[in-house]
Amino acid sequence: MEYVQFLVLLFSLFQIHINSCMCQHMGELDSTTDKAALLSFKLQLNDPLNSLSGWTRNSTSHCTWFGISCTSKGSRVESLQLSSLGLVGPLPPSLSNLTSLRTLNLSHNLFHGQFQLEFSKLSHLRHIDLRNNSINGTLPVALSHCLNLKTLRLQGNKFSGNLPPQLGNFQRLSILSISINNLTGSIPPTFGNLSSLTYLALARNMLIGEIPSEFGQLKKLQHIQLSENHLSGQIPSSIFNISSLVFLSVTHNNLSGSLPIPNDNHRFQALPNVREVYLALNWFEGILPAYLSNASNIECLDLSRNRFHGPIPLFGNMRKLIMLDLGQNLFSSSTARNVHFIDSLSNCTQLEYLRINSNRLSGEFPSVANLSTNIQHLCISDNFLTGGFPQGMDKFQNLISLSLEMNSLTGDIPRSIAKLGNLQNFLVHQNIFSGEIPEIFANLTRVSSIVMRNNQFSGKIPTSLGNCQQLQTLDLSWNRLNGSVPEEVFKLSGLNYLVLEHNMLSGPLPSDVGNLKQLQVIDVSDNNLFGTLTSSISGCSSLLYLNMSRNNLSGEIPSSLANILPLEVLDLSSNNLSGPIPQELANLKSLKFLNLSSNYLEGDVPTGNIFSNLSSSSIRGNDDLCSADKEIARNLQLHQCKTKGRQSNHLIKILVPISGATLFICLVFCFVWALISRRKKNRVKGSQSLLSLKGLPPLISYSDIQIATSHFTAENLLGKGGFGSVYKGTFNTGDDGASINNVTFAVKVLDLQQTKAVQSFLAECEALRNLRHRNLVKIITSCSSIDHKRDEFKALVYEFMPNGNLDKWLYPEDEESGFCLTLMQRLNISIDVASAMDYLHNDCDPAVVHCDLKPANVLLDENMAAHVGDFGLARFLCQRPSQRENSTMGLKGSVGYIAPEYGLGSKASTSGDAYSFGVLVLEMFIAKKPTDEMFKEGLSLNKFASAVDRNQVFETVDPRILKNHGGSEQSSSNPSSSNDSSNGGTSSTDSDHICRKYEECLAAVIRVGLSCAAQSPKDRLPMRETLTKLHDIKKIFLN
């Protein structure tokens, strides 16, 4: 006992000694040392504004210096405030000598290095503000010595490491803001001890783990900002019990589960004073609790991009509501519920922002005349809404953005829209609006985006668009517009995107197009434009994408196109262009995609840049093109240019004056003229594809095919079908003594023992004779002859597809072969097939129905672009219903792919092809045949729909798609091909984002497949609308 008393006495004496030393040391730090510390601090700084020029050693008192405040007694530095001066430098240890410092504010400068002061000397500190600098390192644990700290602002720096649990010791701390740094680890539960805390901001870091339930102990807390981290788990119910809470944001995390539900066993106040709640971009699910939709003080509520479901909530009690975002959830509705929803919002007289897009709302959408006149943003897009254009829209004089796209709205666009003078975005695409586009744009002088694509608009393009001088995007594609493009459009100097594809526009492209210096995209493909391609288009100096394919343009390609240096995509295919390919195009270093196919171009193909990697498909269908280089000629399937012929012509020109040769020259010219005339006639007769084969005759013999297939050996057998076998054939082709080239084609040999094989042969010839589309297999020629046994022989010669058919890629014989289609490749193939079917159904006269769409009939070229083949069961849809040509009685088709109504003898229809396409899409993304066990009950659509509803997409799709889903996929500029590449490693944020995008993309594609494969023909999605949806899915995925 005496020993213990001795130790206590010894410890007391030691403590008295320590305190004495500290007092002596503190006494040594006075105003002189403060001045020295400040001068030392200044010496290490770069002061670009000379703000500290008055800090000199000769000054009478440092207390008069800029940014300095001192105590009333002793002239000790009490406050150092040097905010927003552009100061550059470290935080030197000498600042630790300012032992009386209460406020340190160095915010909005360029301080760097670590924040490591002797905080044991700075026990008087109350406020630290170092926000928006470049300070790095870990947060100093020694900060816990500053027990009087009330404000700690460190946001906008480069701090890393974990949050020290010791920060929870600040009993007087009211503001803690460390957002926008590189902090990792979890949030310490000790933060629940910050009993004076009113403001907590830890956003935009890399924090993980759950939100501590101890936050519920912070009874003074008003502001919680935890957005853009990697937090997981559920929101603790204790947070919803903080009655003082005014602001809550957990946007962009990995939080999940349902929102807390009140428990009758304890008091649950449910955010009685909250004004702003942001829960977007998480994985929350379940039905929205009533207490949230009834919170009367809420001004901003953002629940977007989650999985909330159930009937869309009513918000009648939120009379202070300004912003409501319920977008991208699973809320549902009916016509009656829509009326109740809009009626409930009529009490929200301050509402400015309303988004209910990308849910499952259905039924007619009611009048919005009762909504607040303050509405600025209204978005109801990407739902299943029907009815006409919502009435009452003209009362919203402050409306900035109107977004109605991707619904099933019908009828005309009301002229009252002309009253919306503040409108900037007008988005109504992918609906079923019809009629003429009214002249409503004269007053819309502030509009920047007009997107009306994929509707049924007809008539002419409004000239009042010329008043929209701030217009940047004009998209009227995929409608039925006719007439010429108004000159007024080409006077919109700020236009960036002009997309008018797939209409019935005519006339030439005005020369005024060259005035659009900011234009980046021009797409006028699939129209009836004629005339020459104006050289003034080179004035579009910012142009990246130019697509004028599938028109009637004539004349030569202007060499001035080479002046558009940023150009990346140039598509002039399927026109009537003639003359040479300008050599200057080879100077376009940015050009990534070039398509000049199906024209009348001639002469030597240029070399260099884009032409170095050109594929034969890019110039196919130009019979008079050649190449002086033998290697290039072989790769592009061209003949070599005849240089000797040019020398002969030059010699003939020299001999022209010789009178004896005059008659001979005349005869030569007559002979050449006859050849040209004959070639033109052949072109008119549709033999363009034959002539491009450099010597292959229009009808080839049995012996030609026998030699090409090496006597039909098994090594050349590509596959067998219902009516015959397909072989790989290598043909020798040449032209008037030119060097012989070996060209590979696919040869379909008909088994004439099969019933209806001859009918299949004739049907395929008839169907493919006049069809021209990049995603259809091209028939080259045919053979109707006798074999060596004198038996009848019939065969068809097609383009050879080196990557085989889709079936082999989905079900490779060798699982280790590496045959695996990426998500982007599957999506591109879906788009290619849908494009081909849309062409057959909507752009052919009469329309063609394929009747046998399945993976084995989808062939893949060298770029993995898809081509639909095998038209042996194809039917023409005749205008007269009395004709029986399109009956499906006796139609075989393929089990699992054929539409159910065909089994009952229904007539062939485009909806039957839509059904087959839907099955094809589902099979492509889950890699299970329709005859699989999971498809016993029809298509088991309920099972699929349920999987999509629950967002269990990853459990449904082909697991090979997800093998590399952490990487990023990019599609090539060619819409019919895909090149997948990885960008290397990704951060966890990127990985989560990519995973979410994969899931959304897969779910959207499966929904499209289900919509096409509906049991009832009237419920199936038409191919044109299907194609549009797939294009939009791809754009969203890539963006």
Please tell me whether 748 is known to bind a ligand.
Answer: yes
Contacts with 98 (C-beta within 8 Å, 6 or more apart), sequence order: 34, 37, 38, 76, 77, 80, 122
Characterize the bridge pairing of strands 741-750 and 724-733: antiparallel
- Alpha carbons 674 and 678: distance in angstroms, whole number: 6
- Alpha carbons 430 and 1024: distance in angstroms, whole number: 11
- Alpha carbons 78 and 103: distance in angstroms, whole number: 7
User: Which among 526, 604, 623, 852 is annotated as catalytic?
Assistant: 852
- Alpha carbons 377 and 323: distance in angstroms, whole number: 9
- Alpha carbons 838 and 828: distance in angstroms, whole number: 15
Phi, psi dihedrals of residue 263, rounded to the nearest 5°: -110, 125
Of the candidates 887, 925, 934, 705, the one whose C-alpha atom is nearest the C-alpha of residue 797 is 705
DSSP structure string for 632-649: HHHHTT-EEP-HHHHHHH
Packing angle of the helix pair 1023-1038, 910-926 (nearest 10 deg): 30
Q: Are 970 and 980 in contact (CB under 8 A)?
A: yes
- Residue 346 one-letter amino acid: S
- Alpha carbons 857 and 155: distance in angstroms, whole number: 59
Q: Indicate the length of the chain as a whole number.
A: 1039
Q: Please say if 958 is a catalytic residue.
A: no
Cα distance between the two ends of the chain = 78
Where is 16: in which H helix or E strand? helix 2-28
Q: Is 80 helix (H, G, I), strand (E, B) or coil?
A: strand
- Alpha carbons 436 and 456: distance in angstroms, whole number: 9
Q: Are 472 and 496 in contact (CB under 8 A)?
A: yes
Characterize the bridge pairing of strands 300-302 and 276-278: parallel
- Residue 254 one-letter amino acid: N
DSSP structure string for 127-150: EEE--SSEEEEEPPGGGGG-TT--
- Alpha carbons 378 and 427: distance in angstroms, whole number: 11
- Alpha carbons 247 and 239: distance in angstroms, whole number: 11
**944 CB neighbour count, 10 Å cutoff:** 20
Query: Greatest CA separation found in the chain?
Result: 145
Phi, psi dihedrals of residue 330, rounded to the nearest 5°: -120, 30
Which residues lie across from 325 on neighbouring strands? 302, 355
- Alpha carbons 1012 and 335: distance in angstroms, whole number: 25
Give the C-alpha distances (Å, rounded to integers) separating 334 from 158, 458, 565, 1014, 1022. Answer: 50, 31, 53, 21, 24
Residue 498 is encoded by which pair of tokens?
Answer: 């002009």
- Expressed in percent and rounded to 5, the helix, strand and coil fractions of the chain are 30, 20, 50
Of the candidates 199, 200, 250, the one whose C-alpha atom is nearest the C-alpha of residue 229 is 250
Contacts with 715 (C-beta within 8 Å, 6 or more apart), sequence order: none
Q: Is 1004 helix (H, G, I), strand (E, B) or coil?
A: helix
Q: Is 403 helix (H, G, I), strand (E, B) or coil?
A: strand
Q: Are 191 and 167 in contact (CB under 8 A)?
A: yes
Q: Where are the alpha helices (H) located in 334-411, listed in sequence order? A: 335-345
Residues making up the annotated binding site are 748
Residues making up the annotated binding site for ATP are 748
Catalytic residues: 852
